[in-house]
Structure 1
Amino acid sequence: MKYREQTNINFIRVLQLFPHQVMLEHNVESDWYFDTPEQSLKANSKSLIIRDMQPSGSKLWIEKEPSADHCEATNITDSDTAKNMLKSMGYQVNLQASKIGSMYCVAQYHITLGYLDDIGHFAEFAINTDDESMLVSLI
């Protein structure tokens, strides 16, 4: 579940009331979205993303499809080389976005608080489970 907020201050105040683990704080995610010149990925509601995260140092190759549960990612060691490889295969950058985010764990929940340019502050809640029946009880 995702929520848009004016500020994340209230979420942070409430979070402090619960035992939680800090996964990342103030991590900057820089994303490069690639597509063919004909925009064939976009036409099929797919995304191909190279993500560079600092200061965590993580670099990912991400593929998303229209299905809400289909997102695959793999670690890479050199995001610049990956971007150059895609460009040499005819892909082009059609969107570049940066987001500042912090991720926390509260029991089996992942809470991401962040800021995205041109959109603003957001909060995202996810449950970490393989038991789909838990999802129904939360809705």
Structure 2
Amino acid sequence: MKHSDWKALSEEERKTLGWHRHPHIRTATIYAIVFAIAFIVVILGISKNSTVHLNRKPTAREAFETAKVFVKDKLKQPTTANFPENSYKPVIDTATNSYQLQSVIKFITTSGKTIKSNWIIKMHYIKGDWSEKTSWQVESITMDPEDK
């Protein structure tokens, strides 16, 4: 029922109609439901994001994921890089937040040749979200053979 129709009713007719036919109550109910759903979505989003990466030191697997980004940055064609899934050797010193990782990478050079290269990275975890590059300080990256 529209608000203009509601106004046209007499007092007796208004009393006989149910509450759900009242235009203001129906509108308020719809807004309340939409607000409740939006509130739940926001709360779930906040609680999900706050526990992902913060307030702990990175694991070897997380350090490997970050190291792959730094190694790719050293390549001339980083999109051709292919890393093994779980083939890496970590050396972690949690007292100094030092991470040394060793693995292999296959990539295609600018001349079209596929090369398999061993790499070692030494880096320090500074603080913050481990998945961000700014949370790390790279000491050295060694690739043998290098991308030329």
Query: TM exceeds 0.5?
Result: no
Normalising to structure 2: TM-score of the pair? Answer: 0.27
Higher relative contact order (CA 8 A, sep 6+): 1
Larger Rg: 2
Q: TM-score, normalised by structure 1?
A: 0.29
The structure whose residues are more often helix, as a share, is 2
